Amino acid sequence: MTERSTGRSTEHFHVAVVGGGQAGLAVSYHLRQRGLDHVVLDASEHAGDPWRMRWDSLRLFTPARLDHLDGMNFPGPSSQVPTKDEFADYLAAYEQRFELPVRHGTRVHRLFAGDDGFVLDTSISGISADAVVVAMSSLQAPHMPAMAGDLDPSIRSMHSVTYRNPAQLQEGAVLVVGVGNTGAEIGIEVAQTHETWLAGAESGQLPFRVDGFFGRHVGTRIVAALFLHVLTTDTAIGRKLRPTMTTKADLLLRERPGELRRSGVRRVPRIDAVRDGLPVAADGTVLEVANVIWCTGFRAGLTEWVDIPVLDERGLPRHRRGVVADQPGLYFVGQNFLFAKASEQIPGVSRDARYVVGQLEQWLAQNDRVPSLPDGARQQS
C-alpha cells in the first residue's frame, strides 16, 4: 500500500532489508520462504558489485563447498577456491533464481522510528516498514589515518578499497600500510613490479595455507566447524574470545611472513608520523616512496544514517544474536561475531539470517502485523 507523508509518496512493507550483499540476499531468501512482504534496498547498481570492485586478483579464502547461501550451492568443483568475480556472479544468479525483491541503486540516507514502525529516507523515495533488518558488515566506511593528508602531494595515496592492480601505481617505491590479509596479498602483488615496503606487524597465521591441498580438503573444514559451532556467544570460550576477535586483526590465512620475504617485500614497524611529506616508521625509518596503499581497514558507518539510539560508543549495534531489545522490530545480520566468529563470513551468514527471520516473524505475528503462518503454508524453494 502507499501512504502520504509530508507530501511525499511513501511505500509500506512488512519488512525492509538494508543491504543487498550476501547478508541481505540470505535474509530476503528466508523472508520469501516464509511469505513475508518485503523489499531489499541496495546502494549498488548490480548484485555482487562490492565484490567486483575489489582488487583484480582477489580470491576467497574458502573452497566452493563453503561459499554458498541457503537454497543454492556454488557451481563447479567443491574444492575450487572462487575468485571475487565468480562469487559476485553467484550472488547475481542467486538473486535472479529466487526473484528476490532487490531495488538496486537505492541508498538509505536515514533510518528512524516513526509513529507506527520505521521510516527509511532513501535516494529514490520514502519507505515505511513494520520491521527493519540491517544486513551489512560491522565496518563499512574506509579508514585512513589523519596523517595520510600530510603526505607530499606528489605521492599517490589510496585506500585498499580503491586499489585494483599495480597499473594504478606510478613509478617508484610503494609503501603498503597494514599487515592483515589485505596488506599481505597486495604487498606480494605490487612487489612483482615495484620496490615494496610493508609496515606493521601481523597478528599471527594459520598453521596451513587455506588454498593448499590440506587446507582445501581438511583444514578449512576444521576451521569452519570451529568458527561456526565453537566460537559462538553460546559457549564460554566464544564469549571469552569475542572482545579480542572483534577488535584485533585476523590471522594471516594465505600468505606467510616467509613468502613476503621471498617476494622481496621489505618490512618496517608501524607508520607513526609523516615528516616533510614522507612517511616515518616507529623505528625512525623515513620511507622515500612514490605510492602509499593504506590497508588500514574500515570504521563503522552506521552512525551516518541510523538515527535510532541503538549504537554503542564504537558505533556498533547493541543486540543479542541480531535482535535489538531496545528497539523491537529492528534486527541486524552480517555483523562481526553477531553470534559466531563465522557471522560476517559466507559460511555463517545464512544461519544468522534463518534465526533472525524466525524471530522477526514471531514478533510480527505477536504484534498483529501479519497473520501467523503454519509451516505448510510457507513457500518452498
Query: Average of pLDDT values for 70-83?
Result: 94
* Residue whose grid cell is 605521492: 155
- State pLDDT tens for residues 140-152: 889 999 999 999 9
Bridge partners of residue 135, in order along the sequence: 333
Give the residue among 280, 255, 256 at the shortest CA–CA distance from 270. Answer: 280
- State pLDDT tens for residues 298-316: 888 899 999 999 999 999 9
Which of 14-18, 229-233, 247-251, 269-273 bottoms out in mean pLDDT, i.e. has the lowest? 247-251
Residue ranges and CATH numbers for the domains of the chain are: 2-140+300-377 (3.50.50.60), 143-294 (3.50.50.60)
pLDDT band at 371 (very low <50, low <70, confident <90, very high): low
Give the residue among 156, 32, 158 at the shortest CA–CA distance from 95. Answer: 32
Secondary structure of the chain in the HEC alphabet? CEEEECCEEEEEEEEEEECCCHHHHHHHHHHHHCCCCEEEEECCCCCCHHHHCCCCCCECCCCHHHCCECCECCCCCCCCCCEHHHHHHHHHHHHHHCCCCEEECCCEEEEEEECCEEEEEECCCEEEEEEEEEECCCCCEECCCHHHHHCCCCCEEEEHHHCCCHHHCCCCCEEEECCCHHHHHHHHHHCCCCCEEEECCCCCECCCCCCCHHHHHHHHHHHHHHHHHHCECCCHHHHHHHHHHCCCCCCECCCCHHHHHHCCCEEECCEEEEECCEEEECCCCECCCCEEEECCCEECCHHHCECCCCECCCCCECCECCECCCCCCEEEECCCCCCEHHHHCHHHHHHHHHHHHHHHHHHHHHCCCCCCCCHHHCCCC
Residue, of 206 and 21, whose pLDDT is higher:
21
pLDDT band at 173 (very low <50, low <70, confident <90, very high): very high
- 50, 54, 291, 379 from 162: Cα distances, Å: 11, 7, 13, 41
Distance in angstroms (rounded) separating the CA atoms of residues 99 and 164: 31
Yes or no: say if 143 and 297 are a contact pair by the CB < 8 Å rule. Answer: yes
Looking at residue 171, its pLDDT comes to 97
Residue 215 has pLDDT above 50, yes or no: yes
Residue 346 has pLDDT above 60, yes or no: yes
Give the residue among 227, 260, 252 at the shortest CA–CA distance from 344. Answer: 227
What global pTM score does this model have?
Answer: 0.91
Yes or no: say if 147 and 274 are a contact pair by the CB < 8 Å rule. Answer: yes
Per-chain mean pLDDT for the chain: 91
Distance in angstroms (rounded) separating the CA atoms of residues 374 and 376: 5
